[in-house]
Structure 1
Amino acid sequence: MKLLLTSGGIMNKSIQDALVDMLNKPIADSNALCIPTAMYGHPWVGPGVKVWEFISGKENNPMVDLGWKTVGILELTALPSIGEDRWVPLVRETDVLLVSGGDALYLHYWIQQSGLAELLPSLQAVYVGMSAGSMVMGPNIGDDFVGWMPPNGADEALGMVDFAIFPHLEHEMLPGNTMAAAERWAAGMQGPAYAIDDQTAIKVIDGEVEVVSEGDWKLFKK
């Protein structure tokens, strides 16, 4: 599976060009499924108006509103209650998964509970994460980002990449997300970690990692 892990969505031409390259065809010819599940677990964003804004493409973080051929909704909390024949073929056939921000551990829990976790490695689709949707791909998220607490009480994530992500670096609405804070966070992580701002994305294809940025970022190595 190809991964495009963003902080704020498809925020500039460089990130959008990377997405088109990964799709290997125009956005207008590509079918998308959006996954809003992470938003329900975060008190700032859901449930309610902001979930609708993400699904409808009315928010300020471009993902759903890029001009896709079709856009559908894949709500992970609903999947355990319906047969796999209802949704697995849909996921296998889609060109891109657009995964919202919100609470990374809540998203991780429902990726596991829904059965999507087992499916992800075999998909041909491009996975585009935003904030929590990107963080969930790492081995863990770090104590700084723990909000919703999973049953096991741990900050473990999917581990589909070997690095962790600190999103929204130096964001004007998040005064605590400074480079100094990111450095302290990274010191507590077990492996490599990236701090990225909303003009930055991390592209992963077959394990090869490339940073795509028109902004600021830093890799903290172990």
Structure 2
Amino acid sequence: MNLLLTASGLRNETLRDALRDMLGKPFSSANIVYVPTASVAEPGDHGWLLADLNRLHGLGWREFDVLELNGLPRQMVLDRLRNADVVYAGGGNHYHLARSITGNGLAEGFLEALENRVYVGLSAGSMIFSRHLTAHSADVIGDTKDLHVLGATSVDPPFGLFDWYLKPHLYSPDFPERDDAWADRIAARADFPIYFIDDDTAVRVRDGKPDVVSEGRWRFHP
């Protein structure tokens, strides 16, 4: 299983090169499916979503599919995932994305599809693999409002692959509160490891082993 877990997508050549290497063939010979599910739970202007779609589409894929996880037959969703060489899950509310996977009975089939494909996550799409994606971690991280806005007080991790948690947008101008002091406060409360990554960084996972690909800055708190 190959995962490229970014904060803000394929914003620089280092991240794009990492995906090319994981894919093993040109983008023009590959199919990609874009999953926007996390974004629909976010209110307000969605220019950021359009910018990411346009940037990604501009890489020149053989086929560019868009797949919403809710409202379609389960088998149709899984077939569309399997038709892709790259599964790309965009940003928004990671709890909504996780609950969409578990609530639609997609977790097992989703993981099976990823065994032979490359997964790229953007922000929320990168946060769904930790076994610490729970109401407890929401309290530790300080984003329980993102869970409560869904009318929920709990969440089950859809995959639970890793002990560590990923928190994106460190030092981001779009999230000015996410500075070193913010990361320090979270790390002091956390009883699990955390990667904090900026918008030019990704955690790459190959054969279950993580490493960091970056043109920016990041922190790891074990």
What is the TM-score of this pair, normalised by structure 2?
0.86
Is 1:215 aligned with 2:216?
yes
* 1:180 corresponding residue in structure 2: 181
Query: Shift of residue 136 of structure 1?
Result: 1.6
Give the Cα separation in 1 of the matches to 2:40 and 2:84: 24
Give the Cα separation in 2 of the matches to 1:174 and 1:44: 15
Identity, % of aligned pairs?
36
Summarize the Cα distance change of 1:54–1:39 in structure 2 as closer, same or farther, 3 Å threshold: farther
Q: Within 5 A, what are the aligned runs for 1:19-98?
A: 19-44=19-44, 51=49, 53=50, 57-58=53-54, 62-79=55-72, 82=73, 84=75, 86-98=76-88
1:5 touches 1:134 (CA, 8 Å); kept in 2? yes
Query: Shift of residue 117 of structure 1?
Result: 1.3
Query: Shift of residue 44 of structure 1?
Result: 4.0
Give the Cα separation in 1 of the matches to 2:43 and 2:77: 28
Summarize the Cα distance change of 1:207–1:32 in structure 2 as closer, same or farther, 3 Å threshold: same
Aligned residues: 211
Query: Shift of residue 126 of structure 1?
Result: 0.9
* 1:170 corresponding residue in structure 2: 171
**Of the candidates 129, 143, 154, which is equivalent to residue 145 of structure 1?**
143
Partner SS, residue 33 of structure 2: strand
Partner SS, residue 191 of structure 2: coil
Query: Shift of residue 156 of structure 1?
Result: 4.7
* 1:133 corresponding residue in structure 2: 125
Deviations 1:77-111 (A, max 9, x none): 123xx251x33222123101111110010110001
Query: Shift of residue 183 of structure 1?
Result: 2.1
Query: Shift of residue 73 of structure 1?
Result: 1.2
The answer for unaligned runs of 5 or more in structure 1 is none
Give the Cα separation in 1 of the matches to 2:103 and 2:155: 16
Query: Shift of residue 50 of structure 1?
Result: 5.5
The answer for unaligned runs of 5 or more in structure 2 is none
1:8 touches 1:130 (CA, 8 Å); kept in 2? yes
1:41 touches 1:148 (CA, 8 Å); kept in 2? no
The worse-fitting range, judged by mean Cα deviation, of 120-129 and 152-161 is: 152-161
